[in-house]
Chain A
């Protein structure tokens, strides 16, 4: 029975304007353009301000949605921003990449009419408004790397962006002098020394969504937090995985600067497990460690021809482009070869990202190959639609069986097999079954394998006593982030397997709260003992 309140207002949801598909398929500018002030006000006005807040129960980090929308409605965007940031330290990111349609918006009363409040769009509007107000709106960030700290510097929120900018100029002018403006090397100073009465130091391993969320909350609680990142720039999958047209790097840089402004240090070029062991982090003075290393190990299909030149994992393809900026080769040194015809294997968000990126790099034809039907595709509906609008072709119920190569070792084709849906599997998805004799060949020059990622085993392998599943996921106590080692916590994709940005952030927040309780209890215990 429909809720009677739903009848009162016209249900017209304000849809966020987007770049025209014919235009955007060839550029890296953001696809969704954001709401105007008028649009945001109109959308906020539709909110029914339900007392039981169903939307909030759909949010993994518990953003006070009706409250921030009320503030927005009252014209107080700054208050709206404060309300969001109480629970979500990365709102400009979540407003862009969260699957709201299966979370907050799905539970909105208006969803029954197919017109839920555009909560994601409003969150993004508020976050962008706040940045604009702080003078950070469209300011081109100092570059992705600038957000990270390579050395052991202090808690300066923008540690060395000036150095870097200066260096880049000098590098362009005269390569031989490129290093002269450099700052101090990594001294491996470890945990910042505790002053009298200061809160303990906590190490966070990985600067993706889980790590950033945990670090921000821990810093707010007064802990001295250092994030260790193995790449040269922070952000994890937000940096190397999600393309510019979905999450501009300047937005990511802005959010990371905010986390740094809370007092979080980020040390890049540290691969925990190799550069420093978990045990050594405790020796350096950290009293707790949060492992948020994500799901970074690419899966391959195991079919013939997968090692031919022109076959990339989605991780490699996207990392070359997003992190290394191969699309600017030869201005940037990292190459990529996209080819005219590209096949992307997989049906998730990563596959959509890779396919749409290939298109933007000049591919004439991009085919997404997925072995089940559209209904089973794990990608966000919106991203599938965006991809289709941009001209990506979908080959559904098609299973790759072999990649064909030419005499020089390059990809020339992808052999596919027709599938039909059989009985549901253990997750309720109907299992695809091959149709014998149905093989056909797609002529392609490039194949991107986007069939999922597993946990990177490196840290587990190098840490005696850290329990993990046979698949490599770190085992935590039920309903907790506590691992098999005291003082060591884990959360995000490394525990759950590949999931979403917001679930990882939720795990990071929960872990931060748990680490806080753990360190308080530890302090009380030692005070009691002393």
Chain B
């Protein structure tokens, strides 16, 4: 059992949790992820490790309540425990000093960008971040990002904070200005695809972190297969970070929709049950 040590709501439906998992905390590096299972009936889902504290034997995750499992996780309180935490998973490329790195984080993708930005900075890079979200209320980890990066630019879809528009609007200008050696983009698939399209024009190497569907997370099932540069790769063991110019994003997006109907059903049923429960306790 993996106990929840701290919990915080960063924005509506975006939550941050510190979870006790000493073995994972000892090995975890920025870029790693974990597979969690809430309880006996739960599914196994991947979540990125957003921070780690080996001393305390704890890891931090930030997640957006999107489906049944994330919403249920969001209802867990400090002192509750997850049935299973497996990790750290994924292949890590240690940070290198390359000059300037542009970090692009969209939505909840800012959380995994943060520890990467911090370590890229620590090894001597200039780190410039572009952070995007739908609106001001959904911007997360502003303070952390500003501490970790030399410069942070903001974009919101509705213009409520920073640039009114998409992160890709700012890219051409920033690439011209900063001449980054590398771009790191983590966020929704359409965002990563759009970023890769822009950086390809400028020939800037671009790393993306993919959120493919997984079951075991150890290379056993192949559910997370993606095509990268024409080859089949498993996101769980070969990734999750890949060359963004080589990833077949259309295939990834399609595969992520594989169980959309079932996910809707599960969430609907979860809501009905929760309401049912409340009625009983209230009555």
Contacts and interface: CB of A to CB of B under 8 A. Distances in A.
A and B held together in a complex: yes
Interface of A: 143, 145, 150-151, 160, 163-164, 167-168, 171, 173-180, 182-188, 230-232, 240, 268-271, 274-276, 296-298, 300, 302, 306-310, 312-313, 315-316, 319-320, 324-325, 329-335, 337, 409, 456-458
A300 B232 contact: yes
For the complex, would chain B's binding face be called helix, strand, loop or mixed by DSSP majority?
Answer: mixed
A269 B24 CA distance: 10
B170 interface: no
Contacts of B26: 188
A7 B29 CA distance: 71
Given A167-B39, A182-B2, A271-B89, 9 more contacts: A176-B77, A232-B44, A271-B218, A275-B87, A300-B232, A315-B220, A316-B215, A319-B216, A334-B215
B138 interface: no
Contacts of A337: 258-259, 262
Given A168-B39, A274-B88, A456-B218, A151 B1 contact: yes
B69 interface: yes
Nearest to B58: A185
Interface range for B: 35 or more
B225 interface: yes
A78 B23 CA distance: 43
B181 interface: no
Nearest to B27: A275
B86 A271 contact: yes
Contacts, number: 191
6 contacts: A275-B86, A276-B23, A296-B218, A307-B255, A333-B42, A337-B262
Contacts of B37: 232
Contacts of A160: 1
Q: Most B CB atoms within 10 A — which of A231, A274, A325?
A: A274
A89 B278 CA distance: 49
A325 B42 CA distance: 10
B76 A178 contact: yes
Given A187-B22, A270-B23, A179 B218 contact: no
Interface in B83-128: 83-89
A81 B219 CA distance: 38
B245 interface: no
Interface in B228-283: 232, 237, 251, 254-255, 257-259, 262-263, 265-266, 269, 274, 277
B3 A179 contact: yes
B143 interface: no
B196 interface: no
Closest CB pairs A-B (n = 7):
A179-B80, A182-B81, A182-B1, A179-B81, A335-B262, A316-B221, A333-B43
Given A168-B40, A275-B87, A329-B262, A298 B220 contact: yes
A175 to B, nearest CB: 5
A298 B222 contact: yes
A275 B40 CA distance: 22
Interface string B204-221: 000000000001101111
Nearest to B278: A174
Given A173-B277, A176-B80, A186-B2, A324 B43 contact: yes
Contact of B222 (A310, A315, A325, A457): A315
